[in-house]
Amino acid sequence: MTATLTHTEENYLKAIYKANEKTKEAVSTNMIAQYMNTSPASVTDMMKKLSTKGLIIYERYKGSRLSSEGSKSATSVIRKHRLWETFLVQKLGFSWEKVHDIAEELEHIHSEELINRLDDYLGFPKYDPHGDPIPSADGKFTLREQIIVSQLNIGEVGVLVGVKNHETSFLDHLNKCHISLGTSIAILDKSSFDKSLQVHIDNDHQILLTHEVSKNLLVRKS
């Protein structure tokens, strides 16, 4: 059991896991194709393969769900991804916008002993540099109270605990705004027209957050 999977199989399982986090239902072929940046035809091929291997439950025209075996594999890949990102930032001094792409490669290194030693070396971190929870060796996530920053009311203050987008361009934009994990964001005004937010950053400077930006900011109300 737990035969070694290819990078590609692992990436598909991760895609199904992430897509399912949102929809909570069986994930459509098209949605997986979008996540994987491939054609729907390729997805169908792979769904048959993963289904045969017992990693997903797949029904023609009905979509796919992870089996418990598949879920375990997906969680393990996510654990590796997030631990490596944490290593890159905390030990090697990378900035948070640089680490995702490298971790996309590192997450496929198979040794479990390696990742468990890394976890130990990092002090068993609960969250990665983007605020995403890191599953423990037995697959448990540490959840946390968090809301999208736009759910705060005028006058309320939140502390940034996570971002929902890992793209370099997005994180670079936050860097320019002097926003990082731990930054306090106070709501000064909310536009009902374009959903933009006027905010006070770290009691230091005022800026306007477009909806495009604010919908990716997760805060803890403070």
Partner DNA sequence: ATATATTTTTAGATAAGTCTAAATATTTAT
Partner DNA sequence: ATAAATATTTAGACTTATCTAAAAATATAT
C-alpha separations of 138 from 40, 70, 79, 125, 186 in Å: 33, 14, 10, 14, 38
Closest CA to 198 of 207, 151, 212: 207
CB of 83 to Mn ion, least distance (A): 10
Q: Which residue in the set 23, 25, 39, 178 belongs to the binding site for DNA (CB under 7 A)?
A: 39
Q: Does 166 bind Mn ion (CB under 5 A)?
A: yes
* 117 vs 164, beta carbon nearer a second copy: 117
* Residue 30, Cβ density class (10 Å: 0-12 exposed, 13-18 middle, ≥19 buried): exposed
30 touches DNA by CB under 7 A: yes
Per-residue binding string, Mn ion, 68-87, x by CB under 5 A, is -----------------x--
Residue 166 binds what, of Mn ion, DNA, a second copy, none (CB under 5 to 8 Å, by partner type)? Mn ion
The contact set with a second copy (CB under 8 A) reads: 88, 91-94, 98, 101-102, 105-106, 108-111, 113-114, 117-118, 121
Quick one: 32 or 88, whose CB is closer to Mn ion? 88
Q: Out of 13, 16, 47, 77, which residue is the one contacting DNA (CB under 7 A)?
A: 47
Residue 110, binding choice from Mn ion, a second copy, DNA, none, Cβ under 5 to 8 Å by partner class: a second copy
Note whether 29 and 66 are within 8 A (CB): no
Helix pair angle (112-121, 68-90), 10° resolution:
40
Query: Which amino acid, 185?
Result: I
Our CB check for Mn ion shows the closer of 40 and 125 to be: 125
Stretch that binds DNA, among 59-67, 115-123, 185-193, 199-207 (CB under 7 A): 59-67
Binds 41, which of Mn ion, a second copy, DNA, none (CB < 5 to 8 A, cut-off by type)?
DNA
200 binds, among Mn ion, DNA, a second copy, none (CB under 5 to 8 A by kind): none
Token pair listed for 78: 């996510």
What is the distance between the alpha carbons of residues 196 and 221, in angstroms, rounded to a whole number? 19
Q: Distance (Å, rounded) from C-alpha 63 to C-alpha 44?
A: 9
* Largest CA-CA distance found in the chain, in angstroms, rounded: 57
Tokens at 122, concatenated: 């990092």
